[in-house]
């Protein structure tokens, strides 16, 4: 199957925000070659979070998850690129940080499943739903990256 350009929803959770990890996470996605097409910093409402986590509503941890996610600001983002959903999930690491490999975001920065610093869409369908829940269509940007240019030598590389 050929690689295709798609979009994913990534959110730095309140613990990631409190620990000052937004920049590091953005850096990793940019260095991988993905394109940031939307970003906002907000205090998510309980209603928004209940909609976002609707698939987990029957799980015993659901009320605590919604309460935690509404306890502080989050950085919500949309990233675009080839197979960004699958690759983004690999970059995040396992939901339980204890199972995450070094080099992944969770493997490098967290130790507790209830405070795993980041959310990432688990499928293209989920990504589309999450993006439309958190962002209006006009908030999504479309642009092409320019090639890297050396300003001293005017050489493309």
11-62: per-residue pLDDT in tens? 999 999 999 999 999 999 999 999 999 999 999 999 999 999 999 999 999 9
Could you list the beta-strand ranges (E) of the chain.
5-12, 35-42, 74-82, 118-120
Residue 8 is assigned to a ligand binding site: no
- Predicted TM-score (pTM) of the model is 0.88
CA pseudo-torsion sign 87, 145, 9, 120: positive
How far is Cα 76 from Cα 131, in angstroms, rounded to an integer? Answer: 9
pLDDT class for 149, splitting at 50, 70, 90? low
- Active-site pick, 7, 35, 52, 119: 119
Residue 83 is assigned to a ligand binding site: no
Residue 95 is assigned to a ligand binding site: yes
Is 146 annotated in the active site?
no
């Amino acid at each position: 199957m050929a690689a295709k350009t798609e979009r994913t929803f990534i959110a730095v959770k309140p613990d990631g925000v409190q620990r000052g990890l937004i920049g590091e996470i953005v850096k990793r996605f940019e260095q991988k070659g993905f394109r940031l097409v939307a970003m906002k910093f907000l205090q998510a409402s309980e209603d928004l979070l209940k909609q976002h986590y609707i698939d987990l509503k029957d799980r015993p941890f659901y009320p605590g998850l919604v309460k935690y996610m509404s306890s502080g600001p989050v950085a919500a983002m949309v990233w675009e690129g080839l197979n960004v959903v699958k690759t983004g999930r690999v970059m995040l690491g396992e939901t339980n940080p204890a199972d995450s490999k070094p080099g992944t975001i969770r493997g490098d920065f967290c130790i507790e499943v209830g405070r795993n610093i980041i959310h990432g869409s688990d499928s293209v369908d989920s990504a589309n739903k999450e993006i439309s829940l958190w962002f209006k269509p006009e908030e999504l940007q479309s642009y092409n990256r320019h090639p890297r240019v050396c300003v001293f030598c005017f050489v493309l590389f």
